[in-house]
Structure 1
Amino acid sequence: MELNTQLKTLAEKINQLKDRIETEESTKHAFVLPFINILGYDTFNPTEVVPEFTADLGLKKGEKVDYAIFQNNEPILIIECKNWKENLLVHNSQLFRYFHVTKTRFSLLTNGIHFQFYTDLDEQNKMDEKPFLEFDITNLKENTVNEIAKFHKSNFDVNNIVNNASSLKYTKEIKKFLSEELNEPSFDFVRLFANKVYNGRLTEKVMEEFKELVQKGFNQFVSEKVNDRLNAALNKEAEKQQVEQIDEVTETTKVETTEEEMEGYRIVVAILRRKLTVDRIVHRDTQSYFGILLDDNNRKPLCRLHFNGSKKYIGLFDDKKNETKQPLESIDAIYQFEKELLETVGFYEGDNQV
C-alpha cells in the first residue's frame, strides 16, 4: 500500500477514535506508533524503535525521550509525544534539551495529529526554535506527503533531508507571513506597494486608504490566479474529451459489420432463445472481433465471432470468462457448440443445466 493511502487510512482512524482517547499513553499506541510503522520501522523491534530512550543531561540522569528510531546502531530521529488534546507549542523546550545530548540530526514533537519535525539549521547540534516541517495528519497535502516520504526507512538520507529542510523552513515562514499580511496588512507592507504606485506624499490618510487597496488587490490577484488555473485545467480536460470523442468516432468508422457476422449472430440467437429472450442477446462489432453479449454488458460475453482473418473461429467463454477459440469450417458449424453456448448463459443466470 502506498504511503499516501496508508496516511489517509491512519487519519480516518484518528478521526474515529480521538474522542475516546484520554491519555498520552493511549495517544502513543493508537496514533504515534502506527505512524512510525507507516514510515517502515519495526515498532516491535527494540533495536530499531527504542521506547523510553535515555537522554541524560549532564548531572541530570534518567531523562528519557518517548521514542528513538535507530539505523546502523545510531539514533536518526527522536520523538516526544503528548496527548492529542495538548498544544505542542508549550512542549518544544523539553525536546530541545534532549536534542542537544543525542547524535541525531532530527527530532519530532507530536500529539498524534499535529507533527513538528526539527533539525539544527541555525546552529549545529542545537535544535532550531521553529520546525522545518509541520502538518496536521488529518489534512495532508500532496507536497507534504512527499516530504514525509523522505523519512521512510527505504528513503532516509540525512544529507538529502537537511539540504531540503532549509528550503522548507523558509518557504513555510514566507507563506505564513503572506497569510498574515493578506488578513491584516502591516504598515511596512502597505508602504512597500504604495511607494511603487503612488507619487504623492504618504500621509496617514493615504496610508489608511492604501491598506484597504493593498488587501483588496492581493485578494483579487490570488482569486484571478486560482481562476486561471481552474480554467486552464477545465480547458485541458475539454480538449482531452474532444480528442477521445474524435478517436472514438474514428475507431467506429473503421469497423465494418459483414453479412457473414450477422448470419453468425442470427445462429447464436437461434441457439440461445431456448434460455433467453431475443432482446437480451446484443451484438457489438469491433475491429478485432464481433462480440455477442448478454444484456449489452461487456462483463457478460456470450461468445465472439472471429471472421476477419482467412480462417473463421468462434470464441467460447468458461465460468471465469476465459476465452477459447474453436475453428469453424463454415458458419453453420456454430450449431456444433450449442451445449457450450447454453452453459455460458448458465454461468450468468445461475443455472448450468442444459
Structure 2
Amino acid sequence: MTQMKTERAKEILLQLLKIPSPSGQEDRIMLHIMEFLHRLDYDVHIESDGEIIDLVVNPDAELFYEVHVDTIPIRAEPFVRGNIIYGTGASDIKGGAAAILLMMESLKKEGKDLNVGVVFVSDEELGGRGSALFMERYRPKMAVVLEPTDLEVHIAHAGNIEAYFEVDGKEAHGACPESGVNAIEETYKMLNELKNLEPFKQKGKYFDPHIGIQELLCENPVYLIPALCKGRLEARLLPDQEVEDVLDLMDPILDEYTLKYEYTEIWDGYELDPDEEIVQLAKAAMKKVGLDEFGGMRSWTDAINFMYNGTRTIVFGPGNLDISHTKYERIDVRDVVTASEFLKVLNDVYAEGLEKVEKELS
C-alpha cells in the first residue's frame, strides 16, 4: 500500500464527509459524486421517483457494487488524526463510498475496464427506498453491498423485528406503589419474558440472537407511580430463524403487557452457500489481497432488498459497525485502500470468469 494511495483515499473521503447528507438531504453529495465520475469519463445514469435519487454506472452488469450515501443526522464533524478520520458517516458508510470512487479512479489511471455495475443509493438509514427503487428497475444476478464489516466478507445476514409499543399501568401517589401499577416495571417484566423465549437463548455461528429496548419514554413530571411507557423493541435473529415463528412466540407476551403494539420492521435473514458464484468470486479476490475472514451482518442493510428480489448478495466494507452511529465514529483510511483493492481485484476476477476462479481455488 503506497502512501500516495492512502493520501488520495483520505482526500476523497474528507470531500464526502464535508458534505452533510442525512437521509432526505442527499442532493449535494449525489451531485459531487456525479461530477467526480464525469471527470473520469464514466457515464452516469440518474434514477429517481421524484424523491429518491440513485446514481448508476454500467446498468447492464450482472454484478453490482452498491453503497448508500446518506447518514444519520450529523452527530460529529469530520476531523483527521493521522490515518484515522472521524465524523458521522466515516464508518457507515462513506468510507465504503470512498473505496468505490478510489477503485474507479484507479481503473481509469491503469487503463482497465469497469466490468461490474456501481450504484450509489439514497435513504438506507431511513427507509431503504433507494435500494428498493434500484431493484424495481434493475435485477442484477449478484451484488456486493458496502457496509462496515471490518473488511470481512459477510455471507450471512441477520433477520430483524422492530416493534413500537405502549405499556399501560395505573396511576397512584408516588409514596403508594401498592395502590398503582408501575408501567416501567411492567415494561421490564415484558422484556424479561421476551428474552427468555427459546429463539433468543440460542447460539449462532457469526453472532447470537438478541432482543432489547432501544427507546423508552415514561413521562412522570409529578410524584406518581408511572402509568404509561412508550418504546421501541429491536430483535436480531439468526439467519436460519423464521421471523413468523418468532412472532408467534412474541405476540402473546405483547398482548398481555401492552395497550397496543405495531411491528414496523419484519425481515428474514439469509446465509449463502459457500459454493455460490458470488461467494467463490469473493473468495478468489480475498486470496489475492490477503483477506481470509467470512462473517455475518448483524444489522439491517440494503442487502435484504437485493436478496428479496433474487440478487445473490454479500456484504463487505471498511469500518466498524460497533462504533457506527456513535459520536466516536471513525475509520482507518488504510482500510479504505484495502477495501478498494479488494473491489478492484473482484472486478478483474469477475471478468475472468468462474471456471478460471474454481481452478485457482482447487
TM-score by length of 1: 0.28
Q: Which has the higher strand share?
A: 2
Bigger Rg, which one: 1
| Greater relative contact order (Cα < 8 A, sep 6+) | 2
Q: Which has the higher helix share?
A: 1
